A and B are shown apart, each in its own frame.
Chain A
């Protein structure tokens, strides 16, 4: 794989070089990275690129970005050849050595990195770049088999033995192996709800693995859930806030990936995920306290049913989002505390889990 990445970088650079010597303006061809360039294939279960590309030709106005992209490619080649890695932040600092071509802020270097990633249709780990971000904590009936970085010996991690803490998902999860007989994986949006379930050892009574996403799931978190679910053939249930952000940003990204890095969604998605709650109907059934939808919420929900291929494919989802819009309110996971702090453990989750077939797709 490493040599394949190097080969692709070299091929692209050679083309640029030849074009320049022919006194023509070189160009690079990037896949479009936006929702408008993805399609949803329910059989494959994730967003795929439609194959539209944008061509960035070297002109006066693109000369800076063009130079930066090429220098980022050179950095990547060096990293891969020396089996080294750089975080996004480190890559940004490396650029400070590029004089006028340096990045002024990290978002600029991140964007160029995303471009290179898409250009070669690989993930950034393969380019030698690793994310700073980490997210995802695990607790419950699971033993993770990792490797000791010095001795290379297997390292067994029992996720029932973290007490009031939890196992945190590493940046790279490809080498992990799993041992579990859990019935399902419960993926939770907020750290607060996760804490409550861990505290009361909910995983023990329900025989499950608990995963906290802490907002929109990182690539590592998505990949971890996907590998665990695939390895042991266990269902994945998602428990998030009943609002457009929980539905359209968190759940959708977990299940089918993002529009921004569609070429990678194949790996970073969890097609078997199902939506447990909070559903718009839950708000009615459990008489949950609500807040009114803000303008951004309304826009997000409208966008989901108008432009997002995933929601458009599932009639149930269109109906649910329309219902939410009609009610004009949202409810958080913790709203269940209205009926008692442990109502969620004693009533809500058991009632919902009794009918998994009713979960939203």
Chain B
């Protein structure tokens, strides 16, 4: 709350950002304005940097050397609106830009998400080129080029230069992006760390020219600032290229950009991906299928998922003239009968004008909804990857011995339809001694961070893997040579934060996750049991061959058999035992 009341940036801001735990920010270039203020008061700024006093105190000190009581009027002068862009500039960790390694990953991820969403919406099989060049040890140039529909000239600045601008927030439909923050936040991070603008190249058709833009974000007004806008040549007939320079760190291994790209190809078997990493060989993956995923349908909200605030604004904005009509037209699965029932339960007249309802009445309505039995929302809006394509992707990418996958039928949490899919790759060249590699996905997007906060992890640790032949410490991820692929698709994935790294643990979601994990677990169990049986039989066979010669030796010693008689004993007995073993 305090953030929105801070009128004056300056030392107070600096103290605040330190207290957010954003220690690294001190070494990075600061926005011009606050740097100027800081240098003007460098003495007290240094002092306050050491002093963890609340931001309010710091502002008081700055106002004057003599302590002066605030009045409502003086406070009012300093109270003004904070732009969303400014808010996120100071809280970039919320969006996944909290450290250099993560920043490079997040920027890549946001651009790739947008490209894939755009291609699919336009019905184009996605072809992506991702290139990361190392400018210096901690500075990279990232470019993502797609073959999507392109963006018309007028929209380019808004999409890339304005936070919370997008087409997906107001629609309940399965998509990668949700809020319209991602790519512009990446651009802002780039601008903050290198001072370079976003460079956009886009073309919508062969008959039209390509447009080249250089854009910065005016963080105070949350508006794009266009540096360059010109027509240009491009060898593609349609598509978009986004290029940015940013501070970051490139590393290999878990949670690396490389890992993210591999996982993205797994979750998007219909995409062709070419990746040029800063170091090492290029990675290329042809698409596994040339069929686009079925187009996800947008649905109206289901009454069981609506919150009081949303209900209030829906009733205010509705075009229907009666409450009953509003319920029927603005929600899914509300028939005339169900609408009557809700009104009756709430003690409201079905014919009352929606806009005339007062807060207590809307609250009554809100409390009445859960008491009425309403059909589950339609589930055709959910598009899973599918068991076969998950299996195909794992087989292509993971050097394992056993593969299986399972897609659950759609289910519903809080009125939102969703479905859960699990893929499993076991054995082969995977490391046997380590914990199982858990790959989490939400709407085909790999989730790299906050593993422990995620419902998917909870479902995995809450499953008894010992039952299926894996080792597992209590309440931990199982150990063994395995990659576990878990995907949740929904019209609205309930993330625990804006950076979209962990799925919230609704009971219905946990239940579906566990069921899918258990199904794959059972198959793994029977595979392992069968393998053990074969191994045991082999062991028994060698066991027989190990000890029977000693029976020959003993009989030879006791009865004085000849060498020939001795080998006869061994031969006949081996035969007898192996014969009966098969019958057993």
Interface residues of chain A, those whose CB is within 8 Å of chain B, are: 9-10, 13-14, 16-17, 20-21, 23-25, 58-60, 63-64, 66-68, 70-71, 73-74, 77-78, 98-101
Contacts and interface: CB of A to CB of B under 8 A. Distances in A.
Nearest to B565: A17
A66 B558 CA distance: 15
A74 B550 CA distance: 11
Interface in B525-584: 540, 543-544, 546-548, 550-551, 553-555, 557-559, 561, 568-569, 572-573, 575-577, 580-581
B555 A64 contact: no
B547 A101 contact: yes
12 contacts: A13-B555, A13-B559, A14-B559, A16-B555, A17-B559, A21-B572, A23-B576, A60-B543, A63-B577, A74-B553, A77-B557, A98-B550
A66 B551 contact: yes
Given A67-B554, A74-B553, 6 more contacts: A14-B559, A16-B551, A17-B561, A25-B577, A63-B543, A99-B550
Q: Is the interface of A mostly helix, strand, loop or mixed?
A: helix
A70 B572 contact: no
The 8 closest A-B pairs by CB, nearest first: A70-B554, A67-B550, A74-B557, A13-B558, A101-B550, A71-B554, A67-B547, A63-B547
B576 to A, nearest CB: 5
A74 B547 contact: no
Nearest to B576: A23
Given A13-B559, A67-B547, A70-B558, A60 B553 contact: no
Contact of A78 (B557, B561, B572): B557
A64 B547 contact: yes
B573 A20 contact: yes
A317 B544 CA distance: 51
A25 B540 CA distance: 16
Contacts of A14: 559
Nearest to B568: A21
A103 to B, nearest CB: 12
B548 A67 contact: yes
Contact of A23 (B550, B557, B575): B575
A100 B553 contact: no
Contact of A74 (B540, B548, B558, B576): B558
A68 B546 CA distance: 12
B544 A60 contact: yes
Given A25-B577, A77-B557, A60 B540 contact: yes
B555 A70 contact: yes
Contacts of B547: 63-64, 66-67, 100-101
Contacts of A24: 576
Nearest to A98: B550
Interface string B420-461: 000000000000000000000000000000000000000000
A59 B551 CA distance: 13
Contacts of A67: 547-548, 550-551, 554
Contact of B558 (A9, A63, A98): A9
Contacts of A17: 555, 559, 561, 569
A99 B554 CA distance: 13
Contacts of B568: 21
Nearest to B553: A71
Nearest to B546: A100
Contacts of A77: 557-558
Contacts of A10: 558-559
Nearest to B557: A74
A60 B581 contact: yes
Contacts of B580: 25, 59
A170 B561 CA distance: 39
Interface string B382-394: 0000000000000
A64 B577 CA distance: 13
A63 B555 contact: no
B572 A100 contact: no
Interface in B92-133: none
Contacts of B555: 13, 16-17, 70
A21 B573 CA distance: 8
Contacts of B577: 25, 58-60, 63
Contacts of B544: 60, 63
Contacts of A20: 551, 569, 572-573, 576
B556 to A, nearest CB: 8
A18 B557 CA distance: 16
Contacts of A71: 550, 553-554, 557
Contacts of B575: 23
Interface string B262-279: 000000000000000000
A21 B575 CA distance: 11
Nearest to A72: B554
Contacts of B557: 71, 74, 77-78
Contacts of B569: 17, 20-21
A20 B580 CA distance: 14
A71 B559 CA distance: 12
Q: Which of A58, A63, A98, A100 has the most CB of B within 10 A?
A: A63
Contacts of B540: 60
A70 B580 CA distance: 22
Interface string B351-379: 00000000000000000000000000000
A10 B540 CA distance: 30
Contacts of A21: 568-569, 572
A78 B581 CA distance: 34
A24 to B, nearest CB: 7
A23 B572 contact: yes
Contacts of B576: 20, 23-25
B482 to A, nearest CB: 32
A77 B559 CA distance: 10
Contacts of B546: 100
Contacts of B553: 71, 74
A67 B574 CA distance: 13
Nearest to B540: A60
Nearest to A25: B576
A228 to B, nearest CB: 38
Given A20-B573, A59-B577, A100 B550 contact: yes
Nearest to B575: A23
A9 B580 CA distance: 28
B466 to A, nearest CB: 26
B543 A73 contact: no
A70 B555 CA distance: 7
A318 B543 CA distance: 50
Nearest to A22: B572
Nearest to A70: B554
B219 to A, nearest CB: 76
A59 to B, nearest CB: 7
B127 to A, nearest CB: 60
Contacts of A13: 554-555, 558-559
A77 B557 CA distance: 9
Residue in B540, B543, B559, B580 whose Cβ sees the most chain A Cβ within 10 Å: B559
Point out which of B553, B555, B568, B581 has the most chain A C-beta atoms below 10 A from its C-beta.
B555
Nearest to B537: A60
A80 to B, nearest CB: 12
Contacts of A16: 551, 555
Contacts of B548: 63, 67
Nearest to A13: B558
A74 B566 CA distance: 14
B545 to A, nearest CB: 10
